[in-house]
Structure 1
Amino acid sequence: MAPLATPPHRTGLLVFQPLKRRHCGECHAGPLQMLVLEDGAPRCLDCADLGHLVFLPRGDTALTRRSREESALSAVVVRFNRRRGRYERHGVLVEEAGLARAEERCLADAEARRRRRTRDARRRAQEDVRFAEAFAAEILRLFPGCPTDRARDIAGHASVRGSGRVGRSAAGRALTEVAVTSAVVASVRHMDTPYDQLLMSGVPRHEARRRIAAVVQTTLGAWRERVSDAG
């Protein structure tokens, strides 16, 4: 009974989950899963007038807080941790009706959060569409010879949210010429040259880029030439 002799600082009613087999000092029921200390002697929850309460394990902070708010009577449940040499909270005892009301409040909040997440996701999707369209328009401004569908594919690939690609960089979001050109070059490199095959065959990256550089520049030059034609 040694650990129970030195309970932690009390903040209201305190209930213990004993480490050893304990019996109620009043009705002798046991072994007890939970007990209350009265004058140093264990009492079962029924004898301590707490038997009507239900146990809510720790883990959901909002539900725990609201359950205690909704319950006229509640108690903190603790257990002694031998390794750490201290008592730790394992949950609370609350009124069943209070727990039900708290769950309803949490469900209402969860629904509100779900709706907010849906709105935010819809807003981000619309922003992503507008950004991809702006990125594609900038590609076509810099490379008017680039097929429209290809420009859209390049923009869509480069601007995927969370991808870490050039379109999501600060320069990409600002639609700088360097960032947009970099996205176009990457697309040409992978789609219009044997670059990927060279890498798969063991050619070092820098050497592979050197070998396909002329093709990349020729393609970019052809896509830029429409500027003079349009003029």
Structure 2
Amino acid sequence: MQPASKLERRVVAAAEQSLTKQRHVSPLDVLTGIGWVPLGLVTDWRQGRAPHLEAVAAVPADRLAEALEAFHRWVAGRGLQPMEVEYVSATRDRRPLRFTAAGDPALELAYRTHWMPADLPQQQRARLTAKQSKLPDLVVVQPLKTFTCVSCGSTDADMLTMEDAGPVCLTCADLDHLVFLPAGDAALTRRAKQTSRLSAVVVRFSRSRKRHERQGLLVEEAAIEEAERQCLSDEDARARRRERDRQRREASDDRFQQELAEQIGRLFPGCPPERAAAISRHTGTRGSGRVGRSAAGRAFDSDAVTRAVIASVRHEDTAYDELLMAGLPREQARERIRDDIDRVIERWRHAD
């Protein structure tokens, strides 16, 4: 049965995408998939920098509740099995995370419940449960400004952890014996973390992207030395595996972009085929963050595909970019070229 509302269609597309990709789905997966809870702000919440999930959402609590209701209607229709997951913060005290401002027990439980197929083998179900219940990494911050440690009063430390009383330097947090391993070598990072008895993820706030981004790890020095030894011993094998993975990703991207172009052609039969191909390449580029790479876009949701086409028309078929270069505010520029977009879209909706 076709979902009745636009919100329901978006929720279903995000839920189906998550279930297909990871064999389970949660309310948080859906909310991030439809863009109502930005992933960067989810990180802030998980790391204890927000009081509850509603505080970082892009929509009011009543809209989140509507999405949750739509999600549960979809769950009921799919016959999925529940799995309760504990959400704890990435802080030293590992305190439980809250989803709502009111803290209603029933609603909190609804958010914590993940769903998986009823026919999933027990062994795979156990692995998923263990993975989702795993404690999050400890987090250390590289601050953009000088800070004062609330424990010792020091102002010359270059990293901090956040506690309820405020920022704490690594010495007071008993993490100063760890060594910083910069990000960049995935194998080295993974092996050093596995070997180190204690570790913490190091993040730094990006002003341009408005989110904390991973910079590396704090691990024991002996763990880095052991990880380096392991990496040297199988460097050739890992290089061959990276090349195979690259080829698989390219083949997958080609298939996705071809299917996206075909969906554009179905929704907009008047769109020239070469233009549909160009739109699919642009919006479907891996890592671009554009509409085509969203959960709805990857599921070929008609609303997401339409937004990708409109974005292309805005930049390629109107004077929008020139208006921005002339200093016109974005909203005014969009209003001025709205009719131009509507004319192109209406023409493309019908075959020549």
TM-score bin, normalised by smaller chain: 0.5 to 0.7
Shift of 1:177: 0.5
Of 143, 151, 155 in structure 1, the residue corresponding to residue 268 of structure 2 is: 143
Deviations, residues 198-219 of structure 1 (Å, cap 9, x unaligned): 0111111111011101010100
Corresponding residue of 2:325: 200
Deviations, residues 72-117 of structure 1 (Å, cap 9, x unaligned): xxxxxxxxxxxxxxxx87x99xxxxxxxxx97x8545111111111
Corresponding residue of 2:347: 222
Map 1:45-194 onto structure 2 (within 5 A): 106-194=231-319
Shift of 1:180: 0.5
Percent identical:
53
Number of positions where the alignment pairs a residue of Structure 1 with one of Structure 2: 135
Q: Report the AA paired with residue 250 of structure 2.
A: A
SS at match of 2:349: helix
Q: Distance in 1 between matches of 2:231 and 2:318?
A: 56
Q: Distance in 1 between matches of 2:270 and 2:255?
A: 22
SS at match of 1:179: helix
Q: Distance in 2 between matches of 1:203 and 1:107?
A: 55
Q: Distance in 2 between matches of 1:108 and 1:221?
A: 61
Q: Distance in 2 between matches of 1:225 and 1:163?
A: 30
SS at match of 1:145: coil
Q: Provide structure 2 residue ranges, at least 5 long, that are not aligned to the other structure.
A: 1-180, 182-187, 192-220
Deviations, residues 43-91 of structure 1 (Å, cap 9, x unaligned): xxxxxxxxxxxxxxxx9898xxxxxxxxxxxxxxxxxxxxxxxxx87x9
Instruction: Report the aligned-residue RMSD.
Output: 2.8
Q: Distance in 1 between matches of 2:345 and 2:304?
A: 15
Shift of 1:225: 1.6
SS at match of 2:350: helix
Q: Provide structure 1 residue ranges, at least 5 long, that are not aligned to the other structure.
A: 1-58, 63-87, 93-101
Q: Distance in 2 between matches of 1:113 and 1:179?
A: 37
Q: Report the AA paired with residue 164 of structure 1.
A: G
